[in-house]
Amino acid sequence: MLSLIKPGKSTIPKSAIMKKLEIILIAGALIGFMLALFNLPYSSVIVSFLFMALSLLYFYFGFALFNGIHLRKIFKTESYKGIGPWRIAVAIGAGIALSDLTIGFMLTINKYPMAKSFLTFGLVFAAVILLLASLRNDKEKHQFYTSIILRCAIFIILGVAALFLNGHLSRTT
């Protein structure tokens, strides 16, 4: 039996829309990075657009993205039931840290000034969030903290690599 999809209805679960957007932006940012490595035309525009979009997603919606809150339910109080102040604070801090590191990656790839400052601040802030999430994970053993630990660790590794490779990412012609 064939199931018909009603027009105007999305088949994507509402909780997955922001996660899918994050994955799409990360994939696009990686493609933009590859374009920048080959010095292709308009690569800096593509890199800037995708990294800025990812940064804005983390900065403004990171707390909702990391806590699994639906986009339409961000301003409803029942969405935050069962989420303690530690989870909200760690999610906001992780959003700011990952946003800052994403801006640092963009600046490094495009060889813009201030890349080292953004990367350094982002690395320190992500390390603090990683430490807080690790301490809370020892007490609560929640999937949220494991996810934050993994994200921060990956971004810290990429941030350290970008900090050391600042100015050496692509060949000059």
Summarised one tens digit per residue, pLDDT across range 85-126 is 899 999 999 999 999 999 999 999 999 999 999 999 999 999
The Cα 56–Cα 52 span in angstroms is: 6
Domain ranges of the chain: 15-68+78-164
The Cα 96–Cα 101 span in angstroms is: 9
Least confident range of 75-84, 117-126, 137-146: 75-84
Residue 131 tokens, joined: 């430490």
First and final C-alpha spacing in the chain = 60
68: confidence class by pLDDT, cuts 50, 70, 90: confident
Question: Which one, of 58, 48, 57, 56, lies nearest residue 28 by Cα?
Answer: 48
Q: Does position 4 have pLDDT exceeding 90, yes or no?
A: no
- pLDDT in the model for residue 173: 47
For the stretch 9-67, pLDDT in tens is: 555 555 578 889 999 999 999 999 999 999 999 999 999 999 999 999 999 999 889 98
Phi and psi at residue 55, to the nearest 5°: -65, -45
The Cα 119–Cα 160 span in angstroms is: 8
Q: Letter for the amino acid at 10?
A: S
- Non-local (6+) Cβ contacts of 21 within 8 A are 57
Rounded to two decimals, the pTM is 0.85
